[in-house]
Amino acid sequence: MKAEFKAAYPYTGDKMNLPVESVDAALPFYEAVMGFKVLAQSDSPHKSATLSRDHIQIGLAENGGDPTQEGCFFEVDNAEAAFMELKANGLPQQEANFRIDRHGDRSFKVFFVVAPDGLCYCLGEPQE
């Protein structure tokens, strides 16, 4: 079962300018493991790529930022299905270590993935 990615919220900056050292080196993880498709690539003003999956778009950029200090929260329809899908796609992480996090008045069942480029992603399913 594939999970549906419903929304993307950056931790600090802009989800369309997530910093990576090398777009070319980062793309295989996003395509093969995370299930994104490349929509566009550009070399100006710096090398970048726009990626899409389900209802969301993100952008990777060689913009000099620190990937270890950035990432996104991805709202998904099913956190367990999301983890199983990523694992089946080659995610080396053995355990999801699910937990319940609150954001404002909402609760989410979440797990975290750190991409090889250093960006950290929190995938969360809303809880009733």
Per-residue pLDDT of the chain (128 residues; tens, 9 = 90+): 799 999 999 998 899 999 999 999 999 999 999 999 999 999 999 999 999 999 999 999 999 999 999 999 999 999 999 999 999 999 999 999 999 999 889 999 999 999 999 999 999 999 98
| pLDDT at 28 (0 to 100) | 98
**3 state DSSP class of 115:** coil
| pLDDT at 106 (0 to 100) | 95
- Peptide bond before 45: cis, by omega within 30 degrees of 0? yes
Say how far residue 65 (Cα) sits from the centre of its chain: 17
- Please give the C-alpha separations between residue 126 and each of 9, 75, 105, in angstroms, as whole numbers: 14, 8, 11
Q: Are strands 71-76 and 120-127 parallel, antiparallel or unpaired?
A: parallel
| pLDDT at 13 (0 to 100) | 80
| pLDDT at 1 (0 to 100) | 75
- Torsion, Cα 42 26 86 98, to 10 degrees, reads -110
**H and E: helices and strands count for the chain:** 2, 9
What the chain holds in terms of domains, given with CATH numbers, is 5-127 (3.10.180.10)
